[in-house]
Amino acid sequence: MSATIIDGKAIAQEVRSGVAEKVRALKERGINPCLAVILVGANPASVSYVTGKRKALAEAGMLDKSVDLPESTSEEELLSIIDSLNKDPAVHGILVQLPLPKHIDEDKVIMRIAPEKDVDGFHPVNVGNMVIGRDGFLPCTPHGIIVLLKHMGIETSGKHAVVIGRSNIVGKPVALLLARKDVNCTVTICHTGTPDIGSFTRNADIVIVASGHPHTLTKDMVKPGAVVIDVGVNRIPDATKKSGFRLVGDADFDDIKETASYITPVPGGVGPMTIAMLMYNTLESAARIV
């Protein structure tokens, strides 16, 4: 048996095409969805992520009110810019690219973004709404994972899902979304304090691995027919590549694909869904003012 490879690029493109269609409809009513992406400094990975987000905005026909700031920008200056964007009725979403320079308090920055413009879904108000099942912006990567599962027609109700990782960005929120009634999984969270992660994953129907370390999930930890969603993006040396490295996930893809029923590749799996769901959230924010 060989797993079905979940094509995150294709599914993300479907989401983005749907967003673009709805953007055109909103524009006909005089509403032009707009996202402001704030980049502080020139971290290469952050620059790459922001470039992808800006490209997606252009493709969707949304306004791009991005702000590029030098590394030396003070916390007060950044907070002031957020305040002005919060007050601007033409801006529907605000995203501050993380990580920030060490002299800036990330929590303070996230708290400053108005919840109704927090299209990343990181503000405590939106996190709280997610916990209790009220409307709010869902964090993009976890939401994208749920969309992948639903799009592939993977049965989730009553299934045992194991999440490896407890970050505020992926692990905790995806566990909450999996437990919601519309997904209906029984959820176990494993982390660095779990003595034998394999004892949990071997009984799992669905494994979401978001540990941030390659080889976290190996073939012997996966039961035949399980679904594996790999959130990790790790650079490992590879002399055969022009860049000198290649990207791998947190799961041993080549081995596990012979055991699993479905698996996401890295790259091309979960990653494209993150930007797609950001576009979706920005559209939702603009649509709320109709």
Annotated binding site: 165-167, 233
Cα separation, 17 vs 38, in Å, equals 25
> Choosing from 97, 172, 250, 252, which is the catalytic residue?
97
Q: 258 Cβ partners below 8 Å, 6+ apart?
A: 1, 2, 3, 219
**Following DSSP, what letter does each residue of 157-185 receive, concatenated?**
TT-EEEEE---TTTHHHHHHHHHSTTT--
Annotated binding site for NADP(+): 165-167, 233
**Following DSSP, what letter does each residue of 264-289 receive, concatenated?**
--SSSSSHHHHHHHHHHHHHHHHHTT
Residues forming a β-bridge with 231: none
Backbone CA torsion sign across 79, 85, 88, 94: negative
Per the annotation, the verdict on 120 as an active-site residue is yes
Largest Cα separation within the chain, whole Å, is 57
Per the annotation, the verdict on 53 as an active-site residue is yes
3-state helix, strand, coil in the chain (%, to 5): 40, 15, 40
> Choosing from 53, 159, 172, 257, which is the catalytic residue?
53
Q: What is the CA radius of gyration of the chain?
A: 19
Cite the beta strand spans of the chain per DSSP E: 4-5, 34-40, 63-64, 67-69, 93-96, 160-164, 186-190, 206-209, 227-230, 234-237, 245-248, 262-263
Cα–Cα nearest to 79, from 42, 46, 106, 116: 106
Structure tokens at 220: 């012997």
Per the annotation, the verdict on 13 as an active-site residue is no
> Choosing from 65, 117, 118, 120, which is the catalytic residue?
120
Residues noted as catalytic: 53, 97, 120
